[in-house]
Chain A
């Protein structure tokens, strides 16, 4: 079984709709992250969380919100989706002696 899972894997929605992307992990890591990937731009940090009570904004948090429901669950919401939020979204955890980031499989979101 995958250590970091994301649902849904693909989503097509319309402008103005509220969308939630969910992430679960079984690695037991406290640190969880949401990234966005656009072609040619690498991965950009949206939000990150060190534990249930610690939520932090990344470089591109505008238009997004997050909820850390438990150590293992970290969800990302788009309150009112817009077309330029069309992207590939990755959830990740961080742990291990080499500070390795473990990524989920990604959610491909299209906003029409």
Chain B
């Protein structure tokens, strides 16, 4: 089976940088994904790491270390609209279905 752990809440100020960590236990997976969900909305895809290292997409970057069973999402130049929940997820090699962490609620303050 799969399990992923994330901090439940993070608070940061506008313009700052925040890192959301994700540690996982899995029997095998293709890659680590990150999704954003605003209150009342659907999760939307942010980033994907198939290989170890850093992937950068605009203000967002994601990192994966398979040897450490660890990944993170880095958000730079925080904006108020970044206030949302962020989920890490793994696509397991058997089911081809995503298992999600319980999510990190990010609150950006002025």
B21-65 interface (Cβ within 8 A of A): 30-31, 33, 35, 41-45, 48, 50
Is B106 located at the chain interface by the 8 A CB criterion?
no
Closest to B85 in A: A42
CA distance A31 to B95 in the complex (A): 11
Specify which of A56, A99, A103 is in contact with B91 (CB 8 Å cutoff).
Answer: A99
Cα separation A86 to B97 with both chains bound (whole Å): 23
Q: Does A50 contact B (CB under 8 A)?
A: yes
B98 proximity list for chain A (CB < 8 A): 33, 43, 45, 94, 101
Which of A42, A45, A105, A106 is within 8 Å of B87, CB to CB?
Answer: A42
A41–B101 CA distance with the chains assembled, in angstroms: 8
> Among B30, B44, B97, which residue has its beta carbon within 8 angstroms of that of A45?
B97
A56-B95, A98-B48, A99-B91 known; A42-B42 Cβ under 8 A: no
B residues in contact (CB < 8 Å) with A: 8, 30-31, 33, 35, 41-45, 48, 50, 87, 89, 91, 95-103
Known: A33-B98, A43-B87, A106-B42. 18 other contacts (CB 8 A): A31-B96, A33-B97, A41-B102, A42-B87, A43-B98, A45-B97, A48-B95, A48-B96, A90-B43, A98-B31, A98-B45, A99-B91, A100-B48, A101-B35, A101-B43, A101-B98, A103-B43, A105-B41
List 18 A-B pairs, Cβ < 8 Å. A40-B102, A41-B102, A42-B100, A43-B87, A44-B100, A48-B96, A56-B97, A58-B97, A90-B42, A90-B43, A94-B91, A98-B31, A99-B30, A99-B96, A100-B48, A101-B33, A101-B35, A101-B98
